[in-house]
Amino acid sequence: MDNKIRVWTRQDEKILNVLEKDGRHIAKREYIEQKMEDCSKVYLDVYTWYTEKAKDIVAKPSDVQYPIWVSLSSDNMLQPVSGTVILELLIDRDLLIVVDLEKWGRVVNYWYVPLTLKDEEDYDKKLKNYGITNNSNVYLSNFYPHLKKEVIKSWDRLFDNSYSLSDLNVGTIWEVKKEWIQKIIK
């Protein structure tokens, strides 16, 4: 059991039909578009970036488009809301990619991921010198291509577990298999 880890994921309750029929669930673009509606482009940009990087850490099955997010403790798991279920899974550790939640929060908001406090201060000073008051504007506008490259390059630090910005980690897996389910919470 040492190579196993218990994780939790909140999913649309329709996943239960998919798992019953196919024995597995994978995240698809249309699921993200349905869930995020008008915000889906924002998420798909960073999810696509994440997928490209993460597949080099844990091999991605060829039919998978995007990762499935999991909580690493029951205390920090997303709570059920109407129309969702929480799946408690027992998976092999080597199928899990663990990331710092604060770093991921910066990536998903199109912000720079600093290496140190000094690095963050230097970056903030650079933005101020350009008259940029909103960190996200670097990525979202076409005016700062060199800064945008710097932001995207900093995102690689998401996978650097030698340091963290917070005490909370989350993870991703590429699929949910029916046989991994330990409990369904409605």
AA identity, residue 179 = E
* pLDDT tens sequence across 47-82: 899 999 999 999 999 999 999 999 999 999 989 899
AA identity, residue 69 = W
How many domains are contained in the chain? 1
Query: What span, in angstroms and rounded, lies between the C-alpha atoms of 186 and 183?
Result: 10
Query: What span, in angstroms and rounded, lies between the C-alpha atoms of 55 and 173?
Result: 10
Range of the domain at 56: 4-185
Q: What is the DSSP letter of 65?
A: -
Q: What are phi and psi of 59, to 5 degrees?
A: -55, 135
* pLDDT tens sequence across 98-152: 999 999 999 999 999 999 999 999 999 999 999 998 888 898 888 999 999 999 9
Q: What share of the chain is helix, strand, coil (3-state, %, to 5)?
A: 45, 25, 35
Q: What is the pTM of this model?
A: 0.90
